[in-house]
Structure 1
């Protein structure tokens, strides 16, 4: 009996030894993204395997040697070629699966890992970017462990963020450029952000070509202002008129008929968020009439106030009347296309509004009253757009109550936003959409992403083909039109 038992055990042991060893992990996918600042290759695994990284003598090739990893046949067919990666080769055998990336000259790399979910990823960056990316030169060309934010302990008061798919570099002292690429159930999402240290930078609205109406690319406005960064801002008409309440250096540059969300800055630099609406009246002589709009095209029976933000002249036709106002007096009366004084305004009226002011003469008293409510009357800068996205660190989308049309309110699309982070810093952001590299986000998804980036308050800006983020004069995202769209306004970051 003992002899039979020993024989059975021997047979079982021999069978076990003859069986192929089970792989410790499966390589399920190889994903690839080429952005404006770096290329990223991501290896998705069922569990974290043992692996080693080797570099060729010339520094141009990096080989990742995965041990006891099985890879699907489709993995070896994944091609990676870009302005940074010359080629990729795969080799399997003797319990190893090797991936070799051939880099183009002048580039460096970093290999990092994430345990939950199990991922190994390679970032290909310019050699000059390695220190700002990894925090020290020694983190490059080897496995640096879990991905650490390059901004943690970086220059300025930058929010430390670290999660899979996020790439951060210090574009300037106190300026963090962030790219976040991830996949959801419906595909790929590519988003771009700039965080600015509130102690070093200020936000300011600017107009296309410095006036209304005007049309200019966001990068053009950034260049004209010598800004550190810029994002497209409020909605606009085809001719460049603002469709949102805008206030620049204390002077209103555009109005809207709706009560909608806005971002503003108080005289002490404190940021404010909330809904704002415009109410105005003009008194000439003894007659008072309501304001139809500021720096907008004059329509039937309208009263429009034109100030310095509209340019040198009103550009109106001869079918109305216009009253030049300076120092509280009517100083001129014309039928149209009046010059706009830098230290005053022009009151342009048509139809019933013109009839009401028929008796006004030069020298009569002139009072323009504008009311935005509190705290907006005291705000120095305002960029109105909407809807609200984040309030107090929670999702709070107000598209319904602000009466936004369906093309903005529903569906996934490219989006833009301005936010204030939990450390008080400013954030500009865009997410691409309507393209293979990014399917866009709903307003609620956009709000959730901004919160992930640290936002405690955020307002949506004009989106679609207008969404455009510029850092150092360079466009970071891929506008859905295929190129930058000329827009009416932008928010910029300037050194204090």
Structure 2
């Protein structure tokens, strides 16, 4: 058996409800039970602060089957043209037809099965089939072949096979910040820029806060964080209902990975209705998983924008300048008293107050019920995966990112419920984001309560290939995580200390601006 064997993913997927709790962690399979390659890694360790160690692990090796190749895209329909084909993989019959067309043009294709491992909420099975051709020691040969394929009427791109995502022995460079908060004396806090609307580099966030170290946190859309965001007890971002997140109390001294939902309601003129979102663009529900009428689905779907023409969205002062547009809005003071009602959107948020924007049918409701001088009453509830209300105290921070990677020292990835296995017939996203290797950022806590902030570099052929989601989970387990969560990754992956960025971000321009970060603050910095 080749050492680069891709595991399995079910072809027929039964989707679970978004609000379901995390499925029970799967027992370690053969790949999990074996000694992880990280245990034989070369290590370089430093101490950025008392109780804080930074270790860079270098492990893995380049194998004889690590080559540059060309992947030929597949059409969406069985009889579709290969010109402009959009799919990275598809049904076997389609792959065989494109392979035949390639042979007729003088190329030598390979039809390869793509599979993924079992997840906590999904059995293993075939994800799809892909067509490749050519094997080269360097990218230049693959680029030349891709150009020939395009001239012949096919859609093609280069690939490096070591980044297919399942090779535990692929070259990796992993940076691990381990924090003993008792010895350190400080705290881990979430941070964002001067306003939620707008992004900041991690090093800038750290400089403003006086942080010792930091790591990127949530994904971000429309220049703002996406997913449930609770900071120091204040609900600042809407939940993607049922997705995983990390809850911290006491500045990281108590850490829990769980799934979360949130319900925000407003009562006006004796009528109580649900608020669709907090601090986000009305009508655009990134990652889906919203409430009431979202299209095409209310289940979580990572990196998908769902829409809703009729929404109520609340804006707090942390957002900055709210978006303008048609609809209606109520401007509220710190006590929730209506100071103005407008038939358009875009008023500034009063200090300590909020605005409630409405679009579509919700605008008519707001204009009918919200009157100047009246008081609107908001109720906010966050619940965990077991349906229990999460008290939002002044020391509570929740960042919804995901998926969960490790629960109770066992690999536990809820891929379907977390939306990283997409609905529909096109498996390309699942293949690219979930199965293939990418730069990854992760947070975890070990059995002794020490925090683990981890970045695996990626997209560096022969140096550091990156990790699949399953690979990230197995890495965190190998590092001793009792619980662990995936953070935003790809070009956003960044780990830094006071001396600068530790890892090598994959964007050509270097460090990316972020929506939120996790900042390690010294005792006097709060």
* 1:318 Cα deviation after fit: 4.6
Query: Which residue does the alignment assign to 1:433?
Result: 458
Query: Which residue does the alignment assign to 1:217?
Result: 201
- State the alpha-carbon separation in 2 of the partners of residues 420 and 344 from structure 1: 36
Query: Which residue does the alignment assign to 2:511?
Result: 484
* 1:282 Cα deviation after fit: 1.1
Counterpart among 239, 245, 249 of residue 256 in structure 1:
239
Change (3 A) 1:409 1:375: farther
- State the alpha-carbon separation in 1 of the partners of residues 477 and 389 from structure 2: 25
Q: Secondary structure of 1:424's partner?
A: coil
- State the alpha-carbon separation in 2 of the partners of residues 352 and 210 from structure 1: 33
* 1:162 Cα deviation after fit: 7.7
- State the alpha-carbon separation in 2 of the partners of residues 167 and 423 from structure 1: 22
Counterpart among 320, 328, 333 of residue 320 in structure 1:
328
Query: Which residue does the alignment assign to 1:338?
Result: 347
- Residues 61-140 of structure 1 correspond to what in structure 2 (within 5 A)? none
Tell me whether 1:308 sits opposite 2:317 in the alignment.
yes
Query: Which residue does the alignment assign to 1:376?
Result: 390
* 1:378 Cα deviation after fit: 2.8
Counterpart among 353, 375, 382 of residue 365 in structure 1:
375
Greater mean deviation of Cα atoms: 349-358 or 250-259: 250-259
Query: Which residue does the alignment assign to 1:392?
Result: 408
1:276 and 1:376 in contact (8 A); partners too? no
Q: Secondary structure of 1:333's partner?
A: strand
Change (3 A) 1:190 1:446: same
Tell me whether 1:266 sits opposite 2:292 in the alignment.
no
Q: TM-score, normalised by structure 2?
A: 0.60
Gaps of 5+ in 2: 1-34, 64-161, 163-169, 284-308, 423-429
Q: Secondary structure of 1:353's partner?
A: helix
Gaps of 5+ in 1: 1-116, 118-160
* 1:423 Cα deviation after fit: 1.6
Tell me whether 1:290 sits opposite 2:317 in the alignment.
no
- State the alpha-carbon separation in 2 of the partners of residues 251 and 425 from structure 1: 26
1:179 and 1:193 in contact (8 A); partners too? yes
1:325 and 1:366 in contact (8 A); partners too? no
- State the alpha-carbon separation in 1 of the partners of residues 39 and 464 from structure 2: 21
- State the alpha-carbon separation in 2 of the partners of residues 488 and 257 from structure 1: 16
C-alpha RMSD of the superposition: 2.1
Q: Secondary structure of 2:345's partner?
A: coil
- State the alpha-carbon separation in 2 of the partners of residues 351 and 318 from structure 1: 9
1:325 and 1:347 in contact (8 A); partners too? no
- Residues 149-298 of structure 1 correspond to what in structure 2 (within 5 A)? 163-184=40-61, 186=162, 187-199=170-182, 200-207=185-192, 209-237=193-221, 239-266=222-249, 269-298=253-282
- State the alpha-carbon separation in 1 of the partners of residues 389 and 187 from structure 2: 19
- State the alpha-carbon separation in 1 of the partners of residues 198 and 267 from structure 2: 29
- State the alpha-carbon separation in 2 of the partners of residues 473 and 306 from structure 1: 36
Higher strand share: 1
Q: How many correspondences in the alignment? A: 334
The structure with the largest alpha-carbon Rg is 1
Q: TM-score, normalised by structure 1?
A: 0.64
The superposition leaves residues 251-277 of structure 1 with CA deviations (integer Å, 9 ceiling, x where unpaired) of 122123331111112358422220001
Q: Which has the higher contact order (CA 8 A, sep 6+)?
A: 2
Greater mean deviation of Cα atoms: 319-328 or 478-487: 319-328
